């Protein structure tokens, strides 16, 4: 069985004290220990690092090459330990970083309030947000590049192995047209000459739309590609094409008075919003629960 060597911080402190005082006896006085106790601590540290730190053949006190290399690192370790103790005693938690991916469709309006709430409840957490397509974000959670991600998957699709997750809300996409042209699009065949204003390639909803149109032998003709949904809705209102947009964004759009949602049989795109996580440290579980709760509440408004 592998012999695990555990480093004790007081052994490190004793070694540095011996170096700075210039002798084992000086370290004993400074740390209120006996000289044999100081010697045992230094020997234990040497066993832990796997080599001699003090050259016992020389007088006065001298370090080996390993001892000189270890000294500065030991000082940095003690400095970090003392800083952490000071923060804890002052009631201040050290900052923690959490890396969260967010699907493009959820970055507009959906994330701002939940992020504010999480930062208010967990001020020590440093939040790193990364946007992308849902399946790419899911892969990054699985390989450990992200701690978690808020993604969209078709309703009924299960999460793959290697991630945990909770469903937060339902997301419904609407086929959007200028209100004055509502009567022109009653059935899927009426879309054969339509142009589309959509998110770029990689969008799962766009791929679903393309497959649905292909089943009706209708090609997908893209007029404009943009990530920005409000720009998409503005262009649709100007009759530059049709769109596929989350209902919640359509309801809040400045152009909503000029737009309508089409109900066309065979074109239905129900999605589920998921919070997916990989292997989380316990310190990140609470901030993620806070974010999930706030996001779920916001999406259900």
Give residue 301's pLDDT. Answer: 53
Give residue 87's pLDDT. Answer: 61
Give residue 248's pLDDT. Answer: 84
* Beta pairing partners, 132: 103
Give residue 111's pLDDT. Answer: 64
Q: Is the pTM of this model over 0.85?
A: no
Give residue 163's pLDDT. Answer: 86
Q: What angle do the packed helices 9-21 and 24-31 form, to 10 degrees?
A: 120
Give residue 20's pLDDT. Answer: 80
Give the CATH number of domain 9-89: 1.10.10.10
Q: What is the mean pLDDT of each run of 10 residues along the chain (301 residues)?
A: 70 90 87 92 92 86 88 86 66 66 76 70 76 88 85 87 87 92 93 94 88 94 93 96 91 93 88 86 77 77 53
Domains 9-89 and 95-301 share a fold: no
Give residue 86's pLDDT. Answer: 66
Cα 223 to the center of its chain, rounded Å: 33
Domain 95-301 CATH class label:
alpha beta
The contacts of residue 114 (CB under 8 Å, 6+ apart) are: 291, 294, 295, 298
The contacts of residue 288 (CB under 8 Å, 6+ apart) are: 98, 100, 147, 148, 275, 277, 280
150-160 residues labelled b (16+ CB within 10 A) or e (exposed): bbbbeeeeebe
Give residue 274's pLDDT. Answer: 92
Q: Where are the domains of the chain?
A: 9-89, 95-301
> Could you tell me where the beta strands, DSSP code E, fall in 179-277?
195-198, 221-225, 242-246, 259-262, 270-277
């Amino acid at each position: 069985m592998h012999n695990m060597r555990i480093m004790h911080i007081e052994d490190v402190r004793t070694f540095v004290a011996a170096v700075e005082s210039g002798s084992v006896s000086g370290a004993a006085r400074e740390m209120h220990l006996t000289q044999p106790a100081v010697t045992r601590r230094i020997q234990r540290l040497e066993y832990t690092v796997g080599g001699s730190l003090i050259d016992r053949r020389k007088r006065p006190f001298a370090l080996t090459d390993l001892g000189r290399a270890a000294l500065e690192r030991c000082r940095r370790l003690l400095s970090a330990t003392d800083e952490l103790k000071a923060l804890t005693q002052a009631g201040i938690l050290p900052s923690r970083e959490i890396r969260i991916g967010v699907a493009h469709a959820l970055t507009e309006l959906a994330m701002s309030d939940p992020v504010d709430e999480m930062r208010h409840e967990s001020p020590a957490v440093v939040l790193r947000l990364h946007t992308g397509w849902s399946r790419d974000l899911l892969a990054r959670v699985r390989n450990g590049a992200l701690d978690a991600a808020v993604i969209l998957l078709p309703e009924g699709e299960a999460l793959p192995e290697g991630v945990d997750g909770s469903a937060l809300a339902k997301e419904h996409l609407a086929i959007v047209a200028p209100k004055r042209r509502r009567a022109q699009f009653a059935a899927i065949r009426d879309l054969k000459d339509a142009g589309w204003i959509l998110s770029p390639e990689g969008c799962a909803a766009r791929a679903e739309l393309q497959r649905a149109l292909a089943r009706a032998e209708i090609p997908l003709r893209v007029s404009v590609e943009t990530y920005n949904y409000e720009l998409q809705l503005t262009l649709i209102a100007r009759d530059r094409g049709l769109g596929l947009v989350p209902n919640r964004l359509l309801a809040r759009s400045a152009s909503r008075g000029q737009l309508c949602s089409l109900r066309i049989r065979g074109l239905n795109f129900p999605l589920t919003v998921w919070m997916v996580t990989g292997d989380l440290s316990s310190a990140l579980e609470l901030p993620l629960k806070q974010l999930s709760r706030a996001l779920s509440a916001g999406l259900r408004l």
